[in-house]
């Protein structure tokens, strides 16, 4: 799939995730986000705002995420050079609904957030380009299909700005 002449905004989140599985995330990062290949010492964080597959109950989803995907992800993230991996599970539906309603949210709320820290973009791209990194990314993507509603979830890279704490 050649994307060199295709506008960056034309690619959907789903195409990114699918392409990342098929072609290797490092290739996608380099072709879609040129600055990802630039040398930098700034840490980068991957944030995954996820929703459970509709065929899973909340209990099934959270159990699988924590006890099945968690240990697998911890190993694969290490192979990708990640130095921190955190799962944040929603845990109070009533309180979450109150805050969501007060902010005008419509539709089903997120079921949780995953955060993965990497030392730098350069280190992440280098790790993803390695055979071990490509395999780790593929294993993660394959397992995510077991419990995440991928088309209704969001994956994105961030730079943190700590304002308190």
For 29-42, letters b (16+ CB in 10 Å) and e give bbbbeeebbeeeee
Tell me the CB-side half-sphere exposure of residue 56, using CA atoms within 13 A.
17
Residue 143: which of 110, 108, 114 has the closest Cα? 114
Residue 45: which of 162, 161, 160 has the closest Cα? 160
Whose tokens are 């993230």? That residue is 77
State residue 146 phi and psi, 5-degree precision. Answer: -75, -20
Most confident of 5-9, 29-33, 108-112, 137-141: 137-141
Residue 49: which of 160, 152, 164 has the closest Cα? 152
Per-residue pLDDT tens over the stretch 100-127 = 889 998 777 899 999 999 999 999 999 9
51 close to 108: Cβ distance less than 8 angstroms: yes
Dig out the tokens for 143 from the structure.
């397992």
**What pLDDT, on a 0 to 100 scale, did the predictor assign at position 14?**
41
Contacts of 62 (CB under 8 A, 6+ apart): 89, 111, 112
Question: How confident is the model over 57-65, as a mean pLDDT?
Answer: 97
27 close to 3: Cβ distance less than 8 angstroms: no
Provide the percentage of residues in the chain whose pLDDT is more than 70.
76
Contacts of 143 (CB under 8 A, 6+ apart): 68, 69, 72, 73
């Amino acid at each position: 799939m050649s994307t060199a002449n295709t506008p960056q905004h034309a690619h959907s989140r789903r195409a990114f995730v699918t392409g990342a599985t098929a072609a290797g995330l490092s290739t996608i990062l380099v072709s879609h986000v040129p600055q990802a290949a630039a040398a930098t010492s700034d840490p980068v964080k991957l944030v995954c705002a996820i929703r459970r597959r509709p065929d899973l109950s909340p209990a099934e989803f959270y159990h699988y995420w924590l006890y099945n995907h968690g240990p697998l992800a911890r190993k694969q993230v290490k192979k990708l050079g990640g130095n921190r991996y955190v799962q944040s599970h929603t845990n109070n539906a009533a309180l979450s609904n109150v805050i969501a309603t007060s902010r005008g949210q419509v539709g089903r709320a997120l079921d949780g957030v995953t955060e993965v820290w990497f030392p730098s973009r350069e280190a992440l791209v280098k790790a993803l380009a390695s055979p071990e990194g490509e395999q780790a990314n593929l294993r993660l993507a394959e397992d995510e299909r077991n419990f995440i509603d991928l088309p209704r979830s969001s994956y994105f890279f961030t730079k943190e700005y700590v304002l308190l704490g």
